[in-house]
Structure 1
Amino acid sequence: MSKLRSLVPSPHSLFVFEAAARNLNFAMASKELNVTQPSVSHSIKALEKHCGAVLFTRENRGVQLTEVGRVLYDGVRASFSRMEESFKAISPEATQYLTLAASTSMAAHWLMPKLYELQHDHPNLKIKVVTTDRDVEPDSEIDMTIWIRDRGFQRANTWFMCDEVVFPVCSPAYVASHPRIENVSDLSNHNLLHSFDPHRKRISWDEWFDRVGAGAAQAPPNMVASDYQLVMLGALSGEGIALGWNFSAQLLLKNKLLLRPLDVSVKTGGAFFLVANERRADQDKLGILVEWFLSQTADLR
């Protein structure tokens, strides 16, 4: 057990001491604490007696901390500040985050770069981003997430954002250092970056080639990554050509970090949907987030 209980006559005495030391005036401290000035003086004298040290020198216009009083005040002030931050951190107001669940690539390349703008416009909106390797159901832990479903998918608290469109992407550096790509068949002569996601169904290079009518151009993978984010990092670093999604690659293309070496794409028949927790009490804040998502994806619709 902490020895603090035996070192302090009462918790109230510390509040009185802190107010008196901060204001250097017993009258101001009494007004702040809503007690009488004699009560403040009595508490300080009791604390000094308990500590066996003089904490204040009394003067006509107020009081001054002694050297011992300054040491105690520095410790009390720092402790109060830490306790205040701790109480703020666990208060209901502090913990009312809107929690968004997304894939690692979506969070890294679309959500995070854009969320700063959202929080600038809505400073009281607290956002927590959770990355997940599978689709999750909005519940008590997750307020909102993004699913890819058939375009006709419907359910309560779900909003269509854009169709799922897939196309090759690579870095400008890769294009500059490799043979020109003029048609789909040329892709088989390049380093194609492959991924296999065990929990989310993503179109593969083989499927993509089939969809564009170029099955003969298929190329077996030399390496497969289990996380699509690794494929994106490979494309960004100039290692090869990846399949890019119109939604998650939107900013990378806009900022010219990636480009489309070939103007051929596949519209899968799927779509990106925003899915929200319909049981959340604070629907107003959820509504702000929905409106923002829809505005940010308007040019993809």
Structure 2
Amino acid sequence: MHVFEAVGRLLSFTRAAQALHLTRSAVSHQIARLEDELGQKLFVRETRRIRLTPAGAEYLDWVRRAFALLQEGTQAVRAPTRQVLRVSLLASFASHWLVPRLHRFQAQHPDIELQMDPSIRLSQPGVDTDVAIRYGRGDWPDVQGIQIMDEWLTPICSPALLAEGGPWRLPESLLQHNLLFSWSPNALEWSAWSGAFGCSLAGTRQTMLTDYNIVLHGAQSGQGLAMGRLRLLAPLLAQGSLACPFPQLVLRGDVSHWLLLPPGPPSPAAQAFADWLQQEAAMGESSSPIG
């Protein structure tokens, strides 16, 4: 049928053979077999050209309608095309905030597939990723930044460490303990919190760790105090796996969680993801996560 349609459309055995990547003799053989099966001549062979017989013209119309119907049926049953959105993000944000909420995004946008790449390296949106979620002051160059949510900061530790050394009433009480830092070009959190509450970190023992998730594991195992990002960690505090020595000293800092997009209009998938992130973040933004 495909051979017949090509010959009928092009009115040339040679050009049909080229279009179908067949030999001219193979095309001619297929047409001869079809004519034998139908008991009708489909083409009139002339010296320099061919033309359709009336039966051939009628049959070509049926074949074309049959092909169109097959194409329509194929499109009707084919699975919807899924859009892939590559998201670079910090592992801590993924595990403590994003993943527990992802089922709601997937329910709203079943046609968007998120491919998440946890990394502390700042990927370039539009180059090696589609969008990125990062934590900071929003001063990254050559990107569009959409603020997802502010962060609330206060030191956290294991319940055992708090019971051993507490209750702690003054910020200076933490100076006798090891302070756990996650790597950053500048120590945004501890310096902001200590400055806000008049506590110098000079002379404190400090451990710099690569990733915030590792910092949390260190705090949970009693290795020292970490700076708590309460928008991420409110569930862990509620469960009692982490403790808050200074619930009255909570800083709403100038560091936030950001969605970074390449310059220019965002793709439909990126815009849908940005809108959903902002809606989710707005649910718990009005007050401190620990009251």
What does residue 122 of structure 2 align with?
135
Counterpart check, 1:196 vs 2:183? yes
> Which structure 1 segments of 5+ residues have no match?
1-38, 40-87
**8 Å Cα contact 1:104-1:131 kept in structure 2:** yes
- How big is each residue's C-alpha offset from its partner over 1:30-87, in whole Å with a ceiling of 9 and x where there is no partner? xxxxxxxxx9xxxxxxxxxxxxxxxxxxxxxxxxxxxxxxxxxxxxxxxxxxxxxxxx
Q: Say which of 224, 233, 238 aligns to 1:240.
A: 224
* Deviations 1:8-39 (CA, angstroms, capped at 9, x unpaired): xxxxxxxxxxxxxxxxxxxxxxxxxxxxxxx9
1:166 equivalent in structure 2: 153
Structure 2 counterpart of 1:203, one-letter code? L
AA matched with 1:234: G
Report whether the alignment pairs 1:270 with 2:255. yes
CA shift, 1:92, in A, is 10
Question: Following TM superposition, by how much is the alpha carbon of 1:219 offset from its aligned partner in structure 2, in angstroms?
Answer: 1.5
Name the residue aligned to 1:211.
196
The structure having more radius of gyration, on CA atoms, is: 2
> Separation in 1 of the partners of 2:208 and 2:136?
24
**Equivalent residue, structure 2, for 1:289:** 273
Q: How many pairs were matched up?
A: 209
Question: Cα–Cα, structure 1 residues 218 and 113, in superposed 2: closer, same or farther, change >3 Å?
Answer: farther
Work out the percentage of aligned pairs sharing the same amino acid: 25
Structure 1 CA distance for aligned equivalents of residues 181 and 147 of structure 2? 28
In structure 2, how many angstroms separate the alpha carbons of the residues matched to 1:265 and 1:162? 16
Question: In the superposition, relative to structure 1, how do residues 265 and 135 fare at CA in structure 2: closer, same or farther (>3 Å)?
Answer: farther
* Structure 1 position 125, deviation (Å): 2.5
Deviations 1:158-194 (A, max 9, x none): 3222334321122334434443212211112334323
Change (3 A) 1:114 1:130: same
Matches within 5 A, 1:68-107: 93=81, 96-107=83-94
Q: Which residue of 1 aligns with 2:211?
A: 227
User: Could you tell me whether the CA contact under 8 Å between 2:123 and 2:132 is conserved in 1?
Assistant: yes
Confirm or deny: 8 A CA contact 1:98 1:143 kept in the other structure.
yes
Distance apart, 1:294 and its partner CA: 0.7
Task: Say whether the 8 Å CA contact 2:143–2:262 is kept in structure 1.
Answer: no
Q: Is the 8 A contact 2:134 2:258 kept in 1?
A: yes
C-alpha root-mean-square deviation of aligned residues, in Å?
3.6
Alpha-carbon contact 2:142-2:262 (below 8 Å) kept: no
In 1, the alpha carbon distance for the partners of 2:166 and 2:113 equals 47
Distance 2:221 2:94 in 1: 19
Instruction: Tell me the amino acid that sits aligned with residue 229 of structure 2.
Output: W
User: Secondary structure of 1:194's match?
Assistant: strand
CA contact (8 A) 1:175 1:261 kept: yes
Give the drift of 1:262: 0.5
Q: CA deviation at 1:237?
A: 3.2
In the aligned structure 2, how far is the partner of 1:253 from the partner of 1:167? 12
Residues 281/110 of structure 1: CA separation in 2 closer, same or farther (3 Å cut): closer
What is the TM-score when the length of structure 2 is the normalising length?
0.58
TM-score, with length taken from structure 1: 0.57
Q: Equivalent residue for 2:74?
A: none
Residue type matched to 2:251 in 1? V
Counterpart contact for 2:181–2:215, Cα < 8 Å: yes
- TM-superposed CA distance for 1:138, in Å, is 0.8
Describe the shift of the 1:288–1:254 C-alpha distance in structure 2 as closer, same or farther (beyond 3 A).
Answer: farther
Structure 2 unmatched runs, 5+: 1-36, 38-77, 287-291
Assess if the C-alpha contact under 8 Å between 1:195 and 1:228 holds in 2. yes
- CA 134–165 in structure 1, closer or farther in 2 if over 3 Å, else same: farther
